[in-house]
Structure 1
């Protein structure tokens, strides 16, 4: 990790991440500008991002790719290797899981079994023009198709096809966008 990336991680997590909400009238625009300025220097690829709201967590962010006109909602937790397309809207409190614990050895407590080994290229991918509602959970290795909508509170444990509207726990297809 470069010294520049470390500096902007410290600036982001130590200061900018605690500034007012991006949509607050008085200081929101300046707060958002500073957060976007930082992530452009942290993420692997960062297009013309519109919003990075407050209290976002993304690890060290060195493998994150986010494309143009996408935004990250308040209190979102993103894995370090997520790929986000263009025009993606994320509501507050999106939680993306990047790993699971091993549970195969019943003689050993699960907390001592460690994490599953990460497969190459096994990251969450969110395609273009996706709307993710508030408090959505996306499990590891999911592919969210182009133009899809994830309803508030959905628990996405399977891939979502293009233009599908999904909701529930576990998330099921409600209908398709026309």
Structure 2
């Protein structure tokens, strides 16, 4: 049995280690974790820029990787507390974005301002209990290569955005986006697709 499996199998031990890593009722890890632990568990490619005002809520038990030449702009929040966050090469995480794992973002992706991408959902099955006591569920979000995510878009858990696609500003994406398409609206629906035969975008 691995150390990780051992910890997960013992609720008291898991709770104690969680307290050592993160103060109660918070998402941000303790300073000693950020300074002395995380650097050994994160992988950053060459020429990566993470702006000073970015909030990096990263923990060592889930992956955080960011590829060569990628940028995370000011006032964004990156959180891998419940799942990995992987960002490819030459991608832009725009100003004031929120990325909560499990999330995989491909190469050459552009995310505009105030985008929310979350692989986490709070459970709500029992109205007699506070939502905060009902746990969470996670389903990975995947944004494939060469996508453009417009400002104020929301991409919900379990969604895959296919390569070379565009999510229009203000869209709420609750279903998979086919490759080579444009989606818009709440909930987002395809409005264009690229026709490889004619080499043009066709309205749907």
Give the TM-score normalised by the residue count of structure 1: 0.71
Q: What does residue range 121-160 of structure 1 map to in structure 2 within 5 Å? A: 122-160=139-177
Deviation at 1:45, TM superposition (A): 2.2
Instruction: Could you tell me which runs of 5 or more consecutive residues in structure 2 were left unpaired when the two chains were aligned.
Output: 1-20, 22-30, 39-47, 195-199
Aligned to 2:27: none
Deviation at 1:9, TM superposition (A): 9.7
**Alpha-carbon distance in structure 1 between the residues aligned to 2:147 and 2:101:** 20
Aligned to 1:69: 90
Answer yes or no: is the 8 Å Cα contact 2:100–2:120 preserved in 1.
no
Answer yes or no: is the 8 Å Cα contact 2:79–2:85 preserved in 1.
no
Answer yes or no: is the 8 Å Cα contact 1:99–1:140 preserved in 2.
yes
Deviation at 1:5, TM superposition (A): 6.5
Aligned to 1:24: none
RMSD between aligned residues: 3.3
Aligned to 1:35: 51
**Alpha-carbon distance in structure 2 between the residues aligned to 1:102 and 1:69:** 35
1:86 is the counterpart of 2:107: yes
Instruction: Could you tell me which runs of 5 or more consecutive residues in structure 1 were left unpaired when the two chains were aligned.
Output: 11-31
Deviation at 1:59, TM superposition (A): 1.9
Aligned to 2:26: none
Aligned to 2:74: 54
**Alpha-carbon distance in structure 2 between the residues aligned to 1:112 and 1:78:** 20
Aligned to 2:34: 6
**Alpha-carbon distance in structure 1 between the residues aligned to 2:149 and 2:33:** 28
**Alpha-carbon distance in structure 2 between the residues aligned to 1:142 and 1:71:** 19
Q: Count matched residues.
A: 151
Cα separation, partners in 2 of 1:116 and 1:63, compared to 1, 3 Å: closer
Cα separation, partners in 2 of 1:46 and 1:8, compared to 1, 3 Å: farther
Cα deviation, 1:40-78, whole Å, max 9, x if unaligned, reads: x99632211332110010125782111111010000000
Q: Which has the higher contact order (CA 8 A, sep 6+)?
A: 1
**Alpha-carbon distance in structure 2 between the residues aligned to 1:9 and 1:80:** 19
Answer yes or no: is the 8 Å Cα contact 1:93–1:136 preserved in 2.
yes
1:117 is the counterpart of 2:137: yes
SS of aligned partner of 2:75: coil
Indicate the structure with greater strand content. 2
Answer yes or no: is the 8 Å Cα contact 2:102–2:118 preserved in 1.
no
Q: What does residue range 16-35 of structure 1 map to in structure 2 within 5 Å? A: 33=49, 35=51
